[in-house]
Amino acid sequence: MSDRIVSIGLGEFSVSVDPETTLVAYGLGSCIGLTLYDPEVGAGGMAHVVLPERPSNSADDGGAKYADTAVDRLAAELERSGGKRGRMVVKMAGGAQLLALPLNGHHWDIGERNINAVRKSLARCGLVLATHDVGGAHGRTLRLHIHDGRVVVSTIGRGEKIL
């Protein structure tokens, strides 16, 4: 089977029912790669979440850029492709702290804030996290293989692991 690679850029999401498709989020640092997969219909999706929440004064609709909008949008799009929230297998990776950025005496760990915001949004949307590979100080690449729902995390110097 030859895979068609679909790269999910910063703040983007994609859903597929094509078994020859692999969704990939490259270079996840503090960002979160979130996957949803419904094994009954063979549909899956991935979001590349950049920040925990959309600023209240933003004219931006949020898309997948923010955890507080990405989870519901991704789940809704997967439902349009035949998925059901009660069957969705949820996995995430990323949320690293690659840089310590002190500001006004505080360290703003965007990775940890992203992890917490995605978890909160999953709970609000009635989705349960099956497994994860988050935190630490190393970047990751996340792949979702639509043909079987397999989620693979690659880390430089640490190899690959299946979530």
pLDDT tens profile 7-46: 999 999 999 999 999 999 999 999 999 999 999 999 999 9
For residue 97, the model assigns a pLDDT of: 86
For residue 59, the model assigns a pLDDT of: 65
For residue 62, the model assigns a pLDDT of: 66
For residue 100, the model assigns a pLDDT of: 59
Q: What angle do CA 120, 64, 58 make, to 5 degrees?
A: 90
Q: Measured on CA atoms in the order 34, 39, 40, 44, is the torsion positive or negative?
A: positive
What is the residue extent of each domain of the chain? 4-140
Taking the C-alpha atoms of residue 24 and residue 121, their distance in angstroms, rounded to an integer, is: 22
Nearest in space to 132 (alpha carbons), one of 145, 157, 114, 147: 114
Residue 22 · residue 16 · CB < 8 Å: no
The whole-model pTM stands at 0.91
For residue 3, the model assigns a pLDDT of: 79
DSSP, collapsed to helix, strand or coil, labels residue 46 as: strand
Of the residues 24, 31, 122, 142, only one is catalytic, namely 31
Nearest in space to 61 (alpha carbons), one of 72, 32, 25, 90: 72
What CATH number does the domain located at 4-140 have?
Answer: 3.30.1330.200
Is 125 part of the annotated catalytic residue set?
A: no
pLDDT tens for the chain, residues 1 to 163: 557 999 999 999 999 999 999 999 999 999 999 999 999 999 999 999 999 888 777 666 667 899 989 999 999 999 999 999 999 999 999 999 876 555 555 556 889 999 999 999 999 999 999 999 999 989 999 999 999 999 999 998 788 999 9
